[in-house]
Amino acid sequence: MAWVRVCGVDEIEREDVLRFDHGVRTFAIYRSPEGEFFATDGLCTHEKAHLADGLVLGHLIECPKHIGRFDYRTGACRRAPVKLPLRTYPTRVEDGSVLIELEGDDG
């Protein structure tokens, strides 16, 4: 496992999402209304639209393509047409930076 820097904590507003590409993978990094950070795979499990183009509503991310929703804290599906949950990744804040924990470092 490796911790990878995503961005500074001030680069994501509360209730917003940021795209993060690392190697051949893409992720979505969220900041909750409470100021906590979360990370999921970047592509919707339904039709592969990038979730960073979606709308954050509290603890939900709405896919920009077919308005399916996920709870970005757990990856759970919250509104059709999505049926497969998102993979989530641990995050932490260190020295003013948001970090994501990835298996290996493919970047």
Residue 11 in any domain: the answer is yes
Q: Is residue 35 part of a domain?
A: yes
Query: Considering the domain boundaries, does residue 107 fall inside one?
Result: no
Q: In the prediction, which pLDDT does 103 show? A: 86
- Residue 52 phi/psi, 5-degree rounding, is -65, -15
The CATH number of residue 93's host domain is 2.102.10.10
For the chain (107 residues), the mean pLDDT of every run of 10, in chain order, is 96 97 97 98 95 97 96 97 97 98 72
Instruction: Look at residue 88 and tell me if it is in a domain.
Output: yes
Q: Is 42 part of a structural domain of the chain?
A: yes
Domain count along the chain: 1
What range defines the domain where residue 88 resides?
2-102
Query: In DSSP terms, which residues pair with 40 in a beta bridge?
Result: 28, 88
Q: In the prediction, which pLDDT does 26 show?
A: 98
Which pLDDT belongs to residue 105?
Answer: 56
